[in-house]
Amino acid sequence: MGRPEVQLDQLADIGPPERLGHYTDAGGALGILRNGAIWASHIRFLNDAREFAHAVEIARRYVQDLERMASGPFPLRTSLLAQLEAMPGNTFVASFSVGAERLSQWRGYCPAGGYKLVFNGPMLKARANASHFYFVKCIYDRSEQERLVRDLIDTGLSYFPSWPLPPPPYPTDPNEEMKADWFSAQWFFPRMNRLASAMKDPAFAEEQEWRAVGGIWSSDEVPLVRARGALLLPYLTLNLRDTGEGLYPCVTEVMVGPGLDQELADFGLAKLFQSIQPGAIQITRSSAPYRFS
């Protein structure tokens, strides 16, 4: 099967398109443009968080099927299932979409009006990687999702017997159950989190979403917290600036969304640019014939 990360590396090696959009309200646009950063929300707070649960359920069923077919001991079974129960753990996501503006995106992400920030895709991916985020194209096909989950588990089972334990202070002579627990936590958990975070329902396929996924390699990383309505929402920061640079050329355009106050929204954005001087970022207006209520 090759090296254990092969499937995930193939997903991560897919180059993003030249243009990726991020729809947000006025507060989100102000934070991104003023601070040079995007806040990646904990995946449990996303509208489509059930898709992560769907991927976990695929894995759970497959582990149980393997146990039924096993002719001997299956030490990984209990520890794999325990790690699946603990997911999504410390997983944070920022979302981007491909293509021209869509009314479904305006309605979904900024229902009272807002902005679409357009990023240079390859540069955005470089910024994400520099902030220890995994940048990936979402997977919508159900059969492909199931194949990838099963392949990851099969790869783990083949790799487990030769997996080297971490150095002391861990026990120098652990039993199979202890080794299975360490393997499941340190090898399987972060990789399954990466894979599940890229899965979405086929109904959302038109969005052609890409995601920056952070926090998966360290359960000790302490997130920041902001208020969203009646909730306190944990998030991680994805820094968009490179050393000595402003936002440009990572952000190339800001589109003012449709709405009753589009002219005022455009005017306010232009004044913001005067104060923060972000560089050569183009301001455009949506032509969508839509009025938010």
107 domain residue, yes or no: yes
Q: Report the alpha-carbon distance of residue 88 to residue 83 in Å, rounded.
A: 9
pLDDT number for residue 3: 47
Is the CB of residue 210 less than 8 Å from the CB of residue 97? yes
Alpha helices, H only, the chain: 6-12, 26-35, 50-69, 76-86, 103-109, 121-130, 142-159, 176-183, 189-197, 262-276
81 domain residue, yes or no: yes
108 domain residue, yes or no: yes
245 domain residue, yes or no: yes
37 domain residue, yes or no: yes
pLDDT number for residue 217: 63
Residue 188 DSSP class = I
Residue 101 DSSP class = -
75 domain residue, yes or no: yes
Q: Which of 160, 136, 181, 233 is nearest to 4 (CA)?
A: 160
Q: Which two tokens stand for residue 193?
A: 């989190």
Number of domains in the chain: 1
292 domain residue, yes or no: no
Tens of pLDDT along the chain (293 residues)?
444 455 566 666 678 999 999 999 999 999 999 999 999 999 988 876 678 888 999 999 999 998 888 766 677 888 999 999 988 888 899 999 998 888 888 888 888 889 999 999 999 999 999 888 989 999 999 999 999 999 999 999 888 988 887 776 666 677 888 889 989 988 999 899 989 999 998 988 888 999 999 987 665 678 899 888 899 999 999 999 876 666 777 999 999 998 878 899 999 999 999 988 877 899 999 988 766 55
Q: Which of 50, 82, 49, 87 is nearest to 63 (CA)?
A: 82
291 domain residue, yes or no: no
Domain extent, residue 91, equals 6-285
pTM for the model: 0.87
